[in-house]
Amino acid sequence: MKATIQYVQERFRQFNELMFGGELPEVPIGLTHSKRMLGYCSCRKESSLFGLRTNRTFSLKINNLVDLPESCLEDIIIHEMIHLYIGVKRLDDLSAHGPLFRKMMTDLNSRFDRHISVSIRLDSEKRDQLARKDHKRQTIVAAVEFTDGRYGFKVLPKVRKTVMQFAKGMKQVPNVKSLRIVVTSNPFFYDYPRSGRLAVHIVNEETLNTALEGSAPCVLGALN
């Protein structure tokens, strides 16, 4: 079956009560057409130049490009709900799928006879199905690494002057270790506003690297 927003919302509420003690807040739920990710939990963290976080907004997105067995689709939803629980509770883990995530995953699999996994692999038929979905919308993204080990990104307008000004400004920030400007077609970035303001969305390194797979360096001469 293919995911629908209504289906995901219903399962979210069911699993929230059954598995998470009703402790998860209602969050925006959407669908993604990503060719790489079956689902993801997004946490938008607005950060000032010196690391002051002013807001944390969570959302879930589930892939609806391919037909999946219902049990597999449910496991994907629960997988992302574990991420949400860890994020909402501000729990520490070593990585996106670190020891805490794996402990919760193993516990839920045991108690509820689930088959949640760290990554769900598609068979060749479904990979081909995803590959046939051609997403040509390109996004300009600045990927930032900070000296304190944090990572972030900013979606920029396709305007050369704005991109150059943003890059120049970020390079002058003392706690910025590295900056890359790339072009990507990953729908992960579609819902983020485009602006040249010197602020970034903080994410973990694994999430950022996954979202930027297949990206290419931005050629400023190709922009308006």
pLDDT band at 68 (very low <50, low <70, confident <90, very high): confident
Where in 6-117 does DSSP place strands (E)?
29-32, 39-47, 53-63
Q: Which two tokens stand for residue 147?
A: 């000296």
Of the candidates 1, 8, 2, 6, which has an alpha carbon nearest to the alpha carbon of residue 40?
8
Q: Is the dihedral of CA 42, 58, 94, 123 positive or negative?
A: negative
Helix, strand, or coil (residue 210): helix
Helix, strand, or coil (residue 50): coil
Residue 177: the pLDDT is 92
Q: Over the stretch 15-31, which tens digit does the pLDDT of each residue have?
A: 999 999 999 999 999 88
Residue 46: the pLDDT is 63
Where in the chain does DSSP place strands (E)?
29-32, 39-47, 53-63, 139-146, 151-156, 176-184, 200-203, 216-217
The predicted model scores a pTM of 0.57
Helices (H), 117-192: 124-131, 160-171
* CA angle, residues 17, 21, 27, in degrees to nearest 5: 65
Q: Find the helix packing angle between 70-88 and 5-19, rounded to 10°.
A: 60
Taking the alpha carbons at both ends of the chain, their separation in whole angstroms is 42
Rounded distance, CA 150 to CA 157, Å?
A: 24
Residue 95: the pLDDT is 82
Residue 9: the pLDDT is 94
Residue 187: the pLDDT is 78
pLDDT band at 142 (very low <50, low <70, confident <90, very high): very high
Q: Which of 8-17, 28-37, 126-135, 149-158 has the lowest mean pLDDT?
A: 126-135
Q: Over the stretch 72-123, which tens digit does the pLDDT of each residue have?
A: 899 999 999 999 999 889 888 888 888 999 999 999 999 999 999 887 555 5
